[in-house]
Structure 1
Amino acid sequence: MNTFRTETKVTATLEEAWTFLGDAKALTGMTVFPKVKTIGDTRTIAGNTIQLKVGLPPIFVEWESMIPIVGQHAFVDVGVNVPFPFVAWCHLHRVEQRPDGVYMIDELLYKSYFPKMIVDLLILKPMFDQRKRAILDYFS
Structure 2
Amino acid sequence: MAFFQFEREQILHANLEEVWDFISSPKNLKKITPDYMGFDIRTPDLPDKMYEGMIIAYRVRPVLGIPTTWVTEITHVADKHYFVDEQRVGPYALWHHQHRIAETENGVLMHDIVSYRPPLGFLGSIANALIIRNKLNEIFDYRKKVLEELFDRGE
TM-score (norm 1): 0.87
TM-fit CA distance, 1:60: 2.0
Cα distance in 1 between the residues matched to 2:29 and 2:42? 14
Segments of 4+ moved more than 4 angstroms: none
Bigger fraction of residues in helix: 2
1:96 lines up with 2:102 in the alignment: yes
Counting only pairs closer than 5 Å after superposition, residues 114-125 of structure 1 correspond to structure 2 as 114-115=125-126, 116-118=128-130, 119-120=132-133, 122-125=134-137
Residue matched to 1:34: 37
Cα distance in 1 between the residues matched to 2:107 and 2:149? 17
Aligned residues: 137
* Structure 2 residues not aligned, in runs of 5+: 119-123
* Structure 1 residues not aligned, in runs of 5+: none
Bigger fraction of residues in strand: 1
Counterpart contact for 1:34–1:127, Cα < 8 Å: no
TM-score (norm 2): 0.79
1:71 lines up with 2:78 in the alignment: yes
Cα distance in 2 between the residues matched to 1:3 and 1:44? 24
Aligned residues with identical type, % of pairs: 28
Cα distance in 2 between the residues matched to 1:132 and 1:111? 24
CA RMSD of aligned residues (A): 1.9
Counterpart contact for 1:91–1:108, Cα < 8 Å: yes
